[in-house]
Structure 1
Amino acid sequence: MTLPIANIPFINKRVKFPVTPHIPAGLTTPDQLRQIAAIAEKYGGSLKITGGGIVILGLSVADGEKALAELGAKPESFIAKAVRGVAVCPGKPHCPMARQDSTALGLALDAEFFGQPTPGKLRLGISGCPNCCAEVMVKDIGLYGTAEGFTVAVGGNAGRSAKIARVAAEGVPAGQIAPLVRSILAFYRDHGKDKERLGDTIGRVGWEEFLTAVFPPR
Structure 2
Amino acid sequence: MKTSVIIHGTHNEFTLEQMKACIDLAEKYGGSFRHVVTGLQITGIEKDDKPALIAELPDGVRPVVHRGVNSLIACVGKDGCKNGQMETMELADHIERSHYGRSMAHKCKIGISGCGRNCPDSMIKDIAFVGTTNGFLLVVGGQSFHTPAKGQILAKNLTIEQAKKASDVIIEWYASEAKPKERLGGLLKRVGNPLENITL
Equivalent in 81, 84, 92 of residue 106 of structure 1: 92
Do the aligned partners of residues 52 and 197 (structure 1) sit closer, same or farther apart at CA in structure 2, a change above 3 Å counting? Answer: closer
Unpaired runs of at least 5, structure 2: none
Equivalent in 103, 107, 124 of residue 121 of structure 1: 107
Provide TM-score, normalisation by structure 2: 0.89
Do the aligned partners of residues 150 and 45 (structure 1) sit closer, same or farther apart at CA in structure 2, a change above 3 Å counting? Answer: same
CA shift for structure 1 position 51: 5.0
Matching of residues 5-154 of structure 1 within 5 Å: 15-51=1-37, 53-72=39-58, 73-77=61-65, 80-154=66-140
1:214 aligns with: 195
Q: Deviations over 1:21-47 (max 9, x none)?
A: 211222222222221111111111112
Contact 1:85 1:110 in 2 (8 A): no
Amino acid aligned to 2:128 = G
Q: Deviations over 1:171-204 (max 9, x none)?
A: 1110122221221123223331110101111112
Contact 1:23 1:52 in 2 (8 A): no
Contact 1:187 1:214 in 2 (8 A): no
**Distance in 1 of aligned mates of 2:166 and 2:189:** 19
Aligned length in residues: 197
Structure with more of its chain in strand, by fraction: 2
Identity %: 29
1:188 aligns with: 174
Equivalent in 186, 203, 206 of residue 189 of structure 2: 203
**Distance in 2 of aligned mates of 1:57 and 1:93:** 34
Do the aligned partners of residues 53 and 192 (structure 1) sit closer, same or farther apart at CA in structure 2, a change above 3 Å counting? Answer: closer
Q: Which has the larger radius of gyration?
A: 1
**Distance in 1 of aligned mates of 2:2 and 2:198:** 52
Contact 2:111 2:121 in 1 (8 A): yes
Q: Deviations over 1:36-63 (max 9, x none)?
A: 1111111111122335642111123442
**Distance in 2 of aligned mates of 1:41 and 1:144:** 38
**Distance in 2 of aligned mates of 1:44 and 1:18:** 11
Deviates further, 129-138 or 148-157: 129-138
**Distance in 2 of aligned mates of 1:196 and 1:190:** 12
Provide TM-score, normalisation by structure 1: 0.83
CA-based RMSD: 1.8
**Distance in 1 of aligned mates of 2:146 and 2:37:** 18
